[in-house]
Amino acid sequence: MIIKIIEFLIILIIMAVIVVAFFMTIIRRGFNIINEITPDIDEVKEILRGNVAVAEYFSRIVSSTIIGISIILSVVLIICFLIIR
């Protein structure tokens, strides 16, 4: 019983590391896509200058990306756990 719990915890930790790496990659790629779409605007400079509109725009893009990936990933994890069971 304890061995199964330890195995389950190890699997969860490995999956958490993979998910975090995946999120970091997707967010970084999303940031690059935003920079490619708006070549005349440097978002980081504008945010550092205090441009609230750019900060809100960028935060909405990033948060919607995170929410979308979270929904997809949660469905995949639920399906995987149902298959393993």
The 8-class DSSP code of residue 38 comes to -
Angle between helix 52-84 and helix 2-37 axes, rounded to 10 deg = 150
pLDDT of residue 80: 77
Secondary structure class of 31 (helix, strand, coil): helix
pLDDT of residue 33: 82
C-alpha span between 65 and 50 (Å, rounded): 23
Task: Provide the domain limits for residue 49.
Answer: 2-84
C-alpha span between 42 and 19 (Å, rounded): 29
Per the model's pLDDT, the better-predicted residue between 71 and 81 turns out to be: 71
**The whole model's pTM is what?**
0.59
Overall number of domains in the chain: 1
pLDDT of residue 52: 92
pLDDT one-digit tens code per residue, 4-60: 878 877 887 888 888 888 888 888 887 788 788 888 888 888 889 999 998 898 888
